[in-house]
Amino acid sequence: MHALLVIDVQNDFCPGGALAVTGGDEIVAGINVLMAQFDAVVLTQDWHPAGHSSFASVHDGKSPYDMIDMPYGPQVLWPDHCIQGSDGAAFHPLLETDRADMIIRKGYNPAIDSYSAFFENDHKTPTGLDGYLRSRGITEVTLVGLALDFCVNYSAVDAAQLGLKVNVRRDLARAIDLNGSLDEATKAMIGAGVRLK
């Protein structure tokens, strides 16, 4: 059994959004076509409360993309984005969300960010996705979505460490590429045994 994981294809990560990824909307049509080829489709959704601790706006004197140390490790500070219930948090309007078997919301704990579809950024607190995939008998996943160097990367590495066979479709993902983050992410995924296509 093989699942497609569609990572964070949301308005705030597409052109015009609060944390826009260049070309983020260009992958939507291809993802829709791909959905029919899988046994299961899971969508993830960044889902932050207002005033989330990863937002630069809640840290005096800090700007978006500054780094700080949090109890769980280094944290990039982001522009306010994907706030629960906002238009920015909604899926891209052309994404065929009705094809999804499950939607995983992440980043809703105000004290900790969550890039991965599998764990919060403490690398310990699970989202429940691993259990869902195992209960469905899924042993292989293919990841697409936004952003390749953050949420796709973290999700792919965690999936591989959990024993899943993992593929990433780079043609159906886009990156932020913050200070070399794309190169670092590519090395991390290859090092974890992820197949980049």
Q: Which residues are catalytic?
A: 8, 106, 151
In order of 76, 92, 122, 145, the CA distances from 73 in angstroms are 10, 31, 8, 25
| H or E segment to which residue 68 belongs | strand 67-70
Structure token digits, residue 193:
């045994």
90 contact partners, CB below 8 Å, separation of at least 6 = 10, 11
Question: Which amino acid would we find at residue 66?
Answer: D
Provide the CA 182 distance to its chain's centre, in angstroms.
14
